[in-house]
């Protein structure tokens, strides 16, 4: 799916595409995060072609008392951690390589869309960040992915993929996800306040859209590095964080990292759970190599991440690359 090439088209894109809400607030403030992932940044229109998510994180004391009691009962809970309540809504879109083939190539990724909402808890300390999220969604025509893509292509001009009548059927999805990131190996570099740090991560997701375990790390380099855990990403990628340190002036850092996943289920490749549908043979091991730049201001952080993803299914024509834009606002 191509991103619009003019401001008016971009506004229409954001209005027509369902969004997502989620992340971690400062002590008494909330954060809004808008994530846009698209293979347009890599000059392609195939496979994982679009993801859009809007995230809101509120301090836990803004939620119901039972939520705090639930957090305190969790094994990863610590009195030192600050709690955030995450809510989110988003949409992912998947298409095959050839948008004109009718019927679509059975050896290629099937047409699919996913519309979902997320709710969960984020637990933040100086040394680690825990995220425990529950995601409910729907796959199939009810995801509205075909309407979204056709609306966007009507604005941007290129012919939209014609095979949406062959997409996966309607199916409800449920997924529980947990991930921890650690801040480690902080080190100064020469003179002038330059620093680097290492952020390992590990986690899992179990459910009907995705089931996998993942792990990896991120390295950041910058001047007077702010305290954060890197820009957010849309699943199944490393979820990252919309949290950033508010400070006067402008600051920035570069980052590079990897995320490796051992995949037990990918509905968008395996096909529908309870009915016959298109599907392909997925790879059990998938990896993302990513690098990017984050630019921060007092109440805003903007980041761009470029992702190189290994083959996700056996008959895939090579690796995929796409870009991810993220905007975080302190409310």
Full 3-state SS string of 82-145: EEEEEEEEEEEEEECCCCCCCCCCCCCCCCEEEEEEEEEEEEECCCEEEEEEEEEEEECHHHCH
Quote the tokens at residue 236.
């199944």
The answer, yes or no, to whether residue 11 has pLDDT greater than 70, is: no
> How long, in residues, is the chain?
331
The mean predicted confidence, pLDDT, of the chain is: 85
Share of the chain above pLDDT 90, in %: 55
**pLDDT value, residue 203:** 95
The answer, yes or no, to whether residue 171 has pLDDT greater than 90, is: yes
Closest CA to 180 of 229, 115, 142: 229
Task: List the domain boundaries for the chain.
Answer: 7-330
Output the CA–CA distances (angstroms, integers) from residue 310 to 54, 165, 259, 330, in the order listed. 26, 28, 11, 35
171 vs 272: CA distance, rounded Å: 7
Q: What is the dihedral of CA 188, 190, 194, 198, to 10 degrees?
A: -40
The HSE-up count of residue 38 (CA atoms within 13 Å, CB side) is: 18
239 vs 236: CA distance, rounded Å: 8
Q: Tell me: the pLDDT tens digits for 270-304?
A: 999 999 999 999 999 999 999 999 998 888 999 99
Per the CB < 8 A criterion, the answer to whether 108 and 315 are in contact is yes
Per the CB < 8 A criterion, the answer to whether 25 and 58 are in contact is yes
Tell me the β-bridge partners of 41.
none
Choose the weakest-confidence range: 64-73, 176-185, 290-299, 305-314: 64-73
Q: What is the pTM of this model?
A: 0.87
Per the CB < 8 A criterion, the answer to whether 146 and 140 are in contact is no
Band (40; pLDDT cuts 50, 70, 90) = confident
Comparison of pLDDT for 73 and 36, the residue scoring more: 36
Diameter of the chain by CA atoms? Answer: 62
Band (157; pLDDT cuts 50, 70, 90) = low
**pLDDT value, residue 241:** 73
Closest CA to 42 of 311, 310, 306, 277: 306
What stretch of H or E contains 213?
strand 210-223
Quote the tokens at residue 309.
């993803």
Q: Which CATH number fits domain 7-330: 3.30.390.30, 1.10.10.60, 2.40.128.140, 1.10.40.30?
A: 2.40.128.140
Choose the weakest-confidence range: 7-11, 25-29, 72-76: 7-11
Comparison of pLDDT for 116 and 14, the residue scoring more: 116
The answer, yes or no, to whether residue 73 has pLDDT greater than 90, is: no
The answer, yes or no, to whether residue 9 has pLDDT greater than 50, is: no
Q: Tell me: the pLDDT tens digits for 238-251?
A: 766 777 777 888 88
Choose the weakest-confidence range: 19-33, 45-59, 251-265: 19-33
**pLDDT value, residue 23:** 38
Q: For the purposes of burial, counting CB atoms within 10 Å of the CB of 130, is it exposed (0-12), middle (13-18) or buried (19 or more)?
A: buried
Q: What is the dihedral of CA 120, 212, 2, 103, to 10 degrees?
A: -130
For 88, residues 6+ apart whose C-beta sits below 8 A from its C-beta are 20, 21, 22, 53, 54, 55, 56, 116, 117, 118, 119
The single residue listed with the structure tokens 């996943």 is 261
């Amino acid at each position: 799916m191509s991103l619009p090439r003019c401001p008016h088209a971009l506004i229409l894109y954001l209005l027509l595409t369902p969004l997502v809400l989620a992340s971690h607030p400062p002590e008494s403030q909330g954060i809004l995060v808008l994530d846009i992932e698209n293979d347009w940044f890599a000059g392609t229109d195939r496979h994982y072609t679009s993801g859009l998510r809007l995230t809101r994180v509120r301090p836990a004391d803004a939620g119901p008392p039972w939520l705090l009691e639930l957090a305190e009962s969790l094994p990863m809970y610590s009195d030192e951690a600050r709690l955030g309540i995450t809510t989110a809504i988003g949409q992912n879109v998947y298409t095959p390589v050839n948008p004109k083939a009718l019927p679509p190539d059975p050896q290629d990724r099937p047409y699919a869309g996913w519309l979902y909402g997320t709710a969960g808890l984020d637990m933040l300390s100086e040394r680690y960040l825990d995220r425990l999220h529950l995601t409910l969604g729907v796959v199939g025509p009810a995801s509205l992915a075909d309407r979204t893509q056709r609306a966007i292509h009507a604005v941007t001009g290129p012919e939209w993929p014609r095979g949406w009548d062959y997409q996966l059927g309607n199916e409800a999805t449920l997924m529980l996800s947990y991930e921890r990131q650690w801040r480690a190996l902080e080190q100064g570099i020469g003179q002038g306040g330059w620093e680097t740090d290492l952020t390992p991560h590990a986690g899992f997701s179990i459910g009907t859209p995705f089931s996998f375990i993942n792990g990896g790390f991120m390295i950041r380099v910058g001047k007077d590095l702010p305290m954060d855990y890197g820009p957010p990403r849309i699943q199944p990628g490393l979820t990252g964080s919309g949290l950033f340190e508010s400070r006067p002036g402008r600051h920035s850092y570069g980052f590079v990292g990897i995320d490796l996943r051992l995949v037990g289920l990918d509905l968008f490749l395996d096909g529908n759970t309870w009915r016959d549908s298109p599907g392909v043979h997925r790879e059990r091991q998938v990896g993302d190599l990513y690098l990017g730049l984050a630019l921060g201001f007092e109440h805003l952080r903007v980041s761009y991440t470029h992702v190189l993803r290994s083959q996700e299914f056996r008959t895939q024509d090579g690796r995929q690359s796409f870009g991810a834009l993220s905007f975080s606002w302190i409310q």
